[in-house]
Amino acid sequence: MEFQSSLCRTQQRLQLRTAGANISRGAEEALVDRLPDDLLNHIYSLVPLQDAARAACASRRFLLSWRHYPNLIFNVKTLGLNGTKLGFNDETSGYFSNTVDRILKNHSGIGMETFRLQLYPRANIDAHCLDSWIQLAINSGSRIQSLRLFSCAFRPTETFGCLRRLAHVFLHSVLVNEEELGHLLSSSFALEKLELFSCNEIVRLEIPSTLSKLSLLRVLGCKILQAIEINAPKLSTFHYGGAPLPSIAPNVVLLTLSSHTETVDTPMAPGKFLHLKYLDILLSGNLIFPPSYDFFSLISFINASPALESFVLRLKQDGLRHDSILAESDGHPKDIRQLECRHDCLRKVKITGFCSSKGLVELTSHILENASSLKCLTLDTTRDDERNFAMIHKCFTMSKDALAEAHRSLEAIRRYIIGKVPSNVCLKVLEPCKLCQPDII
């Protein structure tokens, strides 16, 4: 047996050679020293935090660049704690706190563009430390473009500094109320994206008109939020998840709404969406929507959107419908609701999780009868949308009840939908395949 050894990739990289001769550490530093400052700093800014710190220990030039490192991202991965399986304890919290503290105190404040602080929910970090870190980053961060905070308290005051270049704010599970958030927004004139997740101290969210560049607003899971007032003139995309439905700016172009608590019907659309072109609504229940829920109520959003081009309705439920249109004894349902309202811009409609609910069949029929520009209607009776969203290239197994409801939905489509489809409309009906079938033991 012949055995040949070879250097690992790390050793190969370290064993640099020029013209057959090894480059000494001093020669390596000489090469680094010859690089222009702007080029070296740019290269250094592309290196992850851990590697940047190691490089600073090996080179005087990199040590100087370390004091101007632009992307300060502090989490368990960048600080080498991703092997911690049980979350934060006193030891890991102390290491995290001391490391962040040293890095920030040694940073010059010049060139900082990103500040991201991500803690475990139960991290035992002293509140004074958190305040000092955030304030240090803000005070020295006139060039900060991105601010991302996770699982901490954020208490900006009236004396909060002006962040002229701040373009993106992301707050997840952050303790901040509307007044404190207002101090941040009032001094962030370049803000383009604002994302708030599970910020449970905000009751009323006000987006001032001074945010003239804000184009995207995402608000999800803010439990006590009651209203949103939007005055940003260029806001075009708004994602909202929660209840009740807040006020919405009329100039939104793309709107995504999600709800997990609807039991009777969907709240009426609050006014007109004169510029709305893309509407995506997600409704999900623990098992199945109650019979009292009226899918036909969703028509209020379509009626309020005269420029609407694309409508996607995603239903997540698992079980048999008790308000099935097939339940009519004579096969001819009574009191089919019809409204006189044109939707001349609507071109594409997709409903995933399509079921045999009478209200949903009525909604689909209304669209077919009133959308003169409709080109494509997709009715998906499976969970294909979840598969695509999760980027899993295989079918989800459906429960026996969900599979039975899918077959009832197909029958409802045959009876009440297909005959109303105009010849110029492409109807796509997705039904369960063999891989969707539940395992039979």
268 residue type, one letter: M
User: What does the alpha-carbon distance between residue 310 and residue 346 come to, in Å, rounded to a whole number?
Assistant: 6
Name the DSSP class of 201.
Answer: B
Q: What is the pLDDT of residue 390?
A: 40
pLDDT for 26:
53
Sequence-distant (6+) residues with CB within 8 A of 98 are: none
CA atoms of 242 and 221, how far apart (whole Å) = 6
Give burial (CB, 10 Å; 0-12/13-18/19+) of 90: exposed
pLDDT score at 115: 81
**64-75 per-position pLDDT tens digit:** 777 778 888 888
One-letter identity of residue 341: C
The H or E element that residue 363 is part of is helix 358-370
DSSP 8-state symbol, 267: P
Cβ neighbours for 66, distance < 8 A, ≥ 6 positions apart:
44, 52, 53, 55, 56, 106
pLDDT-flagged residues of the chain (< 70):
1-33, 82-90, 120-124, 126-127, 139-142, 161, 243-250, 260-271, 285-292, 318-320, 328-334, 383-396, 434-441
Contact (CB, 8 A) for 192 and 167: yes
Please spell the DSSP secondary structure of 88-129, one letter per residue. Answer: --HHHHHHHHHHHHHHHHH--STT--EEEEE--TT----HHH
What does pTM read for this prediction? 0.66
CA 385 to chain centre: 16
Place of tokens 């096969």: 331
* Inter-residue contact 181 to 203 (CB < 8 Å): no
Contact 29, 62 (CB under 8 A): no
pLDDT for residue 428: 96
**HSE value, Cβ hemisphere, 13 Å, CA-based, for 274:** 3
Tell me the chain's radius of gyration from C-alpha atoms: 28
Distance between CA atoms of residues 14 and 54, nearest Å: 14
pLDDT for position 17: 40
The residues, any chain, with a CB within 8 Å of residue 252's CB and separated by 6 or more, are 235, 236, 237, 238, 273, 275, 276
**Neighbour tally for 250: CB within 10 Å:** 14
pLDDT at 8: 40
End-to-end CA distance of the chain: 51
79-97 pLDDT, tens digit per residue, is 877 655 545 566 777 788 8
Query: What does residue 230 show for φ and ψ, rounded to 5 degrees?
Result: -115, 120
Closest CA to 412 of 312, 320, 293, 298: 320
What is the structure's pLDDT at 21? 41
Comparing CA positions, the residue from 258, 249, 250 lying closest to residue 205 is 249
- pLDDT at residue 402 in the model: 82
